[in-house]
Amino acid sequence: MSQPDLQVQDLVGGYVPDVPILRGVSVEVYPGEIVTVLGPNGAGKSTMIKAIAGLVGVTSGKVLLHGQDITGRKTHTLIREGLAYVPQVGNVFVRLSVAENLELGGFAARTNPAERLKQILALFPDLQRLKHLAAGKLSGGQRQMVAVGRALMAAPKVLMLDEPSAGLSPKLTEVLFGKLLEIRATGISILIVEQNAKAALAISDRGYVLAEGQGRFAGPAQELLHSPEVGALYLGAGSRLAS
């Protein structure tokens, strides 16, 4: 297989140096893939994505972006390397307008921001009429569109999303995940961290299951959906996510 776009190797780290939340996590995202990292609450999913983004300390292990070591790099430099990140909460600037949110996303872009904005408005046509509204006035679904649109403004190679379906109705989740497939089709690899295993695996190529800061299972998305072990971790013994 070709070189992964994003490679996490045996990552150990956490908010304070002596209490590692991640205890050796390895994840790979190959070009054009959608990869989901699953796990119960407190498994370290969000911590992992924050550690990749340079927001959480890493004590050992490596993060490689296109083969280049970016471990411990300052967060604000990563977007220029092509790594975009949509946090779970506080992912839009609520006092800024939708247009300003998108514009800020494009500050680090090497491509023409005006051109990029057109593509993003084509992807999320609703944002066009909301442009002048403060992002804090939007509904949860609209906010998520702004957050993803903002992340895409810098024309990243890899897009990371932390719990994109949190707070969304099943219908909106379906719409958003449909958009992620469209984004992938433009050549962007996607790493999703999710609680909503079923919906996320349905659009993913591969998945990883974390528990207690370590990788528990890994495999093609379809396999994880039907695996009794993964089902047991989520729903209790004898269950599966999909039959």
* Smallest separation (angstroms) from another protein to the CB of 198: 28
Does 105 participate in binding another protein (rule CB under 8 A)? yes
Nearer of residues 90 and 238 to another protein, judged by Cβ: 90
* Smallest separation (angstroms) from another protein to the CB of 89: 10
Does 108 participate in binding another protein (rule CB under 8 A)? yes
Query: Residue 215 in contact with residue 200, Cβ under 8 Å?
Result: no
Pick from 104, 175, 211, 218: which binds another protein (CB under 8 A)? 104
Nearer of residues 102 and 225 to another protein, judged by Cβ: 102
DSSP one-letter string for the chain: ----SEEEEEEEEESSTTS-SEEEEEEEE-TT-EEEEE--TTSSHHHHHHHHTTSSEEEEEEEEETTEE-TT--HHHHGGGTEEEE-SSS-S-TTSBHHHHHHHHTTT-SS-HHHHHHHHHHHSTHHHHHTTSBGGGS-HHHHHHHHHHHHHTT--SEEEEESTTTT--HHHHHHHHHHHHHHHHTT-EEEEEES-HHHHHHH-SEEEEEETTEEEEEEEHHHHHT-HHHHHHHH-TT--S--
Nearer of residues 76 and 171 to another protein, judged by Cβ: 76
- Binding string, 6-45, against another protein, x = CB under 8 A? ----------------------------------------
* Smallest separation (angstroms) from another protein to the CB of 239: 36
Nearer of residues 152 and 199 to another protein, judged by Cβ: 152
Nearer of residues 160 and 203 to another protein, judged by Cβ: 160
Does 113 participate in binding another protein (rule CB under 8 A)? no
Return the closest-CA partner of residue 42 out of 26, 58, 19.
19
Choose the stretch contacting another protein; rule: CB under 8 A; options: 23-31, 32-40, 105-113, 172-180: 105-113
- 233-243: b or e for each residue (b if 16 or more CB lie within 10 Å)? bbeeeeeebee
Q: Strand 206-211 to strand 34-38: parallel, antiparallel, or no bridges (unpaired)? A: parallel
Site for another protein in 45-84 (CB under 8 A): 53, 55, 74-80, 84
* Smallest separation (angstroms) from another protein to the CB of 191: 14
- Binding string, 82-101, against another protein, x = CB under 8 A? --xx-x--xxxxxxx---x-
Site for another protein in 153-182 (CB under 8 A): 154
Give me the residues that bind another protein (CB under 8 A), please. Answer: 53, 55, 74-80, 84-85, 87, 90-96, 100, 103-105, 107-108, 150, 154
